[in-house]
Structure formats: structure tokens, C-alpha cells
């Protein structure tokens, strides 16, 4: 079983994140979901202004939020190489997650782990409705 998980991470420059920990979280979640093969996911950490803009555009809600997930299984079909399963994009508001970490008395890295896992579950089609 030769699996390769590629986690692309975009961070607005002023935010401090632990890339190795985020990649390990992605790999752990995919392993617990028995996902095999080559997998790719992107994770972006943005500010509240950008998150609010995305929320308006894709959710028709004029508010910021902690996370948005964009699955490649939704929307317009795109021709992709068959050897990589591209799950999609996870966008996390860094200021919002800091606020939540304080509110819930959690470490910032623990909050990031929780949000990354939550976003991955959405990309895998597992929702909390």
C-alpha cells in the first residue's frame, strides 16, 4: 500500500501555523477513514475579511465563519489526472479560530486540528446535519 498524501498549505504571512502538525492531522484522518492511494487537499488560512467575502459569495451569508470546505466532487466537472484523488479546499479563518480557542479554552494547534478534521470530513462527504 503505497499511499502519498499531498497537503498544500497557504497562509497569509502574519499567521503562525505548524505545517508538520497539520499534515500529520490530514494523514491521520484519511487513515482512519481507510482512504488509500494518492490524495491531495489544500488548506488556506485567511483573515476574517477574506472569509466574509467567501461566505457572501458561496453561502449567501454576510458574515465571517471559522471554516469553509469546497469539495472537488461539487460544482463544475474538471478533467483531472486519474492517479490522484483531489479532495478539495479547506479555508479557515485564523482570527476566528483564535477567538474560538480562547472561548473554548483550547490550544490554538488543537483548534486547528479540530477544524482541519472537520473540513476533511466534509470533503469526504460526511456532514453533521
128 domain-assigned: no
129 domain-assigned: no
Answer whether 27's CB lies under 8 Å from 38's CB: no
The strand pairing partners of 11, in sequence order, are 45
pLDDT tens-digit series, residues 18-75: 999 999 999 999 999 998 889 999 999 999 999 999 999 999 999 999 999 998 765 5
CATH number at residue 117: 3.40.390.30
Taking the whole predicted model, whether its pTM rises above 0.85 is answered as: yes
pLDDT score of 63: 93
For residues 63 and 82, give the distance between their C-alpha atoms in angstroms, rounded to a whole number. 37
Residue 81: band (very low, low, confident or very high) from pLDDT cuts 50, 70, 90: low
Residues 6+ apart with CB under 8 A from 73: 88, 125
**Residue linked to cell 500500500:** 1
* Count of domains for the chain: 1
3-state secondary structure the chain: CCCEEEEEEEECCCCCCCHHHHHHHHHHHHHHCCCCCEEEEEEEEECHHHHHHHHHHHHCCCCCCCEEEEECCCCCCCCCCCCCEEEEEEEEEHHHHHHHHHHCCCCHHHHHHHHHHHHHHHHCCCCCC
Domain that holds residue 46: 4-123
Amino acid at each position: 500500500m503505497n499511499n502519498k498524501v499531498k497537503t498544500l498549505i497557504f497562509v497569509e504571512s502574519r499567521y503562525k501555523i505548524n505545517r508538520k502538525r497539520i499534515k500529520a492531522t490530514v494523514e491521520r484522518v484519511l487513515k482512519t477513514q481507510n482512504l488509500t492511494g494518492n490524495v491531495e487537499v489544500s488548506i488556506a488560512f485567511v483573515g476574517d475579511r477574506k472569509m466574509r467575502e467567501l461566505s457572501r459569495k458561496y453561502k449567501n451569508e454576510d458574515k465571517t465563519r471559522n471554516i469553509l470546505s469546497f469539495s472537488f466532487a461539487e460544482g463544475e466537472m474538471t478533467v483531472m489526472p486519474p492517479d490522484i484523488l483531489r479532495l478539495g479546499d479547506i479555508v479557515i479563518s485564523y482570527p476566528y479560530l483564535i477567538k474560538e480557542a480562547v472561548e473554548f479554552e483550547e490550544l490554538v494547534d488543537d483548534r486547528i486540528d479540530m477544524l482541519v478534521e472537520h473540513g476533511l470530513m466534509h470533503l469526504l462527504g460526511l456532514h453533521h446535519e
